[in-house]
Amino acid sequence: MRYRPHDRSFLERGGFGLLALVALILVALEILPALRLLLTALAPGGIFDPGKALSALSSRAALRAAQATLETAFISSLLAVPLGTIMALVLGITDMRGRRFASFLFVLSVMISPQVIALAFLHLTGPASPILNGLGLAPQAGSTNPMLGRSGIILVLGLHHAPLVYVVISAGLKRIPLTVVEAARVDGAQPLRIVIDHVMPLLRPHLMGAGLLAFVAGIGNFGIPALLGAPVNYLTLPVLIYRRLSSFGTGMLGDVAALGLLVAVIAVVCVAASQILTRRGDVLLEEDAPLQPFWHLRRVRAVAEIFVAFIITAVLVLPMLSLLAAALVPSYGMPLSLTTITLDNFIEVLARQDVTRRAFVNSLAYAGGAACLLACLSIPMAYSLVRLMGTARIPATALLETSYVLPGIVLAIACILLFLKPLPLIGVSLYATPSIIVFAYLARFLAVVLKPVLAGMTQVDVAQEEAATLDGAGLARRLADVILPSLLPAAVAGGLMAFLLAFSELTVSALLWSAGTETIGVVLYNLEEAGLTSQASAVAIVIVAVVTLTMLALHALSRYLPSGALPWHCPAEGAAFSAREPKRDTLRAGAIGHVEPRPALSA
């Protein structure tokens, strides 16, 4: 139910404080970091001088890094788009068994941090790979790992980002009306012809949007190029930025701000184009059911299941098994057998190493604290955006997504620039403290937490608030008694999703950590750089376990969440299959040509 214009009087009473909260969050988490980055890049030292930025961008190292960034991101997206699309179609429109389980595993692979995935593929394909050695397929001893360099980065980026494409295409499938399939079936079309002639044309904007998102993810990715490219001096822009700041410190802030601004501009333009394309491609007819699985595979169902199992094995199972094998031997390269298997590496990183234990505690505290705070803020913010802001909600929501759109390395630079000097008036510095990492997490994952809460808020009937107001309830009372019970599951789910993404991230904390504030992502990277591969693998396995348990907790909450809140959901087994007979009295032959796509309302 939509509230009428004259309803706004009771909604707006006492709402100034909530609007001020939204404005404060917008300024602190989104506008100030972006402005500080822009100011440092274009006016180093406070004097407008774009020539210095152009000089930094035109250096030989920057041009080589830009070329490496663009080519790895573009070619990897060419791999991610068809793979993610095929998986979305197989799991979304067929009667394959185990679709929900397969969807969960496929999306799990992208929820695991990139540096863990890169480390897993290094172990899987190297000369000491326990799996390939067992099959007699390992490269010759002493040879270079085939995953190092340009080709390895492209392959791992493509496999890692295919689930992003899967999520976008799956969302597009859910926006297609069931009548599209029914009308085509009235015309006698077979499932393959329905997919080619009717489903794929409606998905074309989503395909382009998914490709742009995979491209942006490739541009901003730090963990995979750092582990697979840096050892052979194949540097992308995020890795070049990290190296310059690590080697030369804050004296290079002007140059790295210019490089960060370049990455940010590419990312923002691509994400904006992706959003426009996917919104234009949304098709949802009122009072009609969304698309359901309609393709009965019959004799070829086993083929589809084998294909999905092969993809999940290549993307997730084999890399994780290689990590586990590397963690269970005393030192990397030893064969895994009953005589060599040991838990010493897990004991070392969890019980003996102070830095690793501290990193686990830090990551739990920073990611958990940021997630809890964001979950608490998300409900009043969602209420303000939906009930109080009117048409201003669209630009405000776009601004709130700015820091999530920016690559993590760019956000880290902006935070350094913002907090390098003590804060005005209070004279307190956040630089090199845990607070700067928590601030970066708040900025980066605000949009993640807010998305399911906004979706839930749009479904809360304003009549409940009207009734509470008639009983004398003020704004605070309405929020506590009416809004909070409805949105609490969505806020908890958003908080868990933010924790899931922040716990083992490396892109932001790689530039923000200092002695005593290490995160587990940083420790994993440092262990691998130091050659302690088996210990790094043990840390990675623990990270994967935490991520998996968090996703299972989110899955358990799914029944209380708005539709589409979790990216791995697909129709359950035995869901209302659109194998029902089309209504011939209401659908005419050729009716498919008269289905007019309309932009759907954004949540």
Q: For the segment 484-515, what is each residue's pLDDT rounded down to a tens digit?
A: 888 888 899 889 989 999 998 888 898 899 88
Q: For the segment 136-174, what is each residue's pLDDT rounded down to a tens digit?
A: 777 887 788 889 999 999 999 999 999 999 998 988 888
Residue 551 predicted with pLDDT over 80: yes
Give CA angle at 60 (57, 64), nearest 5°: 90
Helix (H), strand (E) at residue 59: none
Residue 567 predicted with pLDDT over 90: no
Percent of the chain with pLDDT over 70: 88
Q: What is the mean pLDDT of residues 506-526?
A: 90
Kindly state the DSSP code that residue 177 receives in the 8-state scheme.
B
Q: What is the mean pLDDT of residues 4-9?
A: 48
Closest CA to 40 of 250, 231, 194, 186: 250
Q: For the segment 265-314, what is each residue's pLDDT rounded down to a tens digit?
A: 888 888 888 777 766 655 554 446 677 888 888 888 899 999 999 999 99
Q: pLDDT band at residue 86, thresholds of 50, 70 and 90? A: very high
Task: For residue 387, give every residue at least 6 positions away whose Cβ sits within 8 Å of its Cβ, in sequence order, or none.
Answer: 3, 11, 15, 457, 462
Q: Tokens 């998996």 map to which residue?
A: 548
**Amino acid identity, residue 181?**
V
**Amino acid identity, residue 369?**
G
How far separated are the first and last CA of the chain, in Å rounded? 15
Question: Is the separation of the CB atoms in 48 and 250 below 8 Å?
Answer: no
Q: For the segment 409-445, what is each residue's pLDDT rounded down to a tens digit?
A: 888 989 998 888 887 767 778 888 999 999 999 999 9
Residue 135 predicted with pLDDT over 90: no
Percent of the chain with pLDDT over 90: 32
Look at 7-11, 193-197, 223-227 and tell me which has the smallest mean pLDDT: 7-11
**Residue 596: per-residue pLDDT:** 37
- CA dist., res. 148 & res. 131, Å (int): 18
Beta strands in 191-247 (DSSP E): none
Q: pLDDT band at residue 5, thresholds of 50, 70 and 90? A: very low
- Domains of the chain, residue spans: 14-573
Q: For the segment 314-371, what is each residue's pLDDT rounded down to a tens digit?
A: 999 999 999 998 898 888 777 777 788 889 999 999 988 899 999 999 999 999 999 9
**Residue 282: per-residue pLDDT:** 59
CATH of domain 14-573: 1.10.3720.10
**Residue 283: per-residue pLDDT:** 55
Q: What is the mean pLDDT of residues 112-132?
A: 87
**Residue 340: per-residue pLDDT:** 81
User: Could you write out the DSSP letters of every residue in 63-116?
Assistant: HHHHHHHHHHHHHHHHHHHHHHHHHHHHHHHB--TTHHHHHHHHHHHHHS-HHH
Q: What is the mean pLDDT of residues 169-195?
A: 85
Question: Is the separation of the CB atoms in 240 and 259 below 8 Å?
Answer: yes
Residue 116 predicted with pLDDT over 90: yes
Higher pLDDT, 461 or 377: 377
Higher pLDDT, 375 or 558: 375
**Residue 522: per-residue pLDDT:** 92
Q: What is the mean pLDDT of residues 536-558?
A: 90
Residue 601 predicted with pLDDT over 70: no
Kindly state the DSSP code that residue 580 receives in the 8-state scheme.
S
The overall average pLDDT reported for the chain is 83
Residue 68 predicted with pLDDT over 50: yes
Q: pLDDT band at residue 250, thresholds of 50, 70 and 90? A: low
- Which of 116-125, 170-179, 560-569 is most confident? 116-125
Higher pLDDT, 248 or 88: 88
Higher pLDDT, 438 or 17: 438
Task: For residue 328, give every residue at least 6 positions away whose Cβ sits within 8 Å of its Cβ, in sequence order, or none.
Answer: 336, 341, 342, 343, 345
Q: pLDDT band at residue 573, thresholds of 50, 70 and 90? A: low
pTM of the entire predicted model: 0.85
Residue 571 predicted with pLDDT over 70: no
Residue 131 predicted with pLDDT over 80: no
Higher pLDDT, 393 or 113: 113
Task: For residue 75, give every residue at least 6 positions away whose Cβ sits within 8 Å of its Cβ, in sequence order, or none.
Answer: 154, 158
Question: Is the separation of the CB atoms in 565 and 451 below 8 Å?
Answer: yes
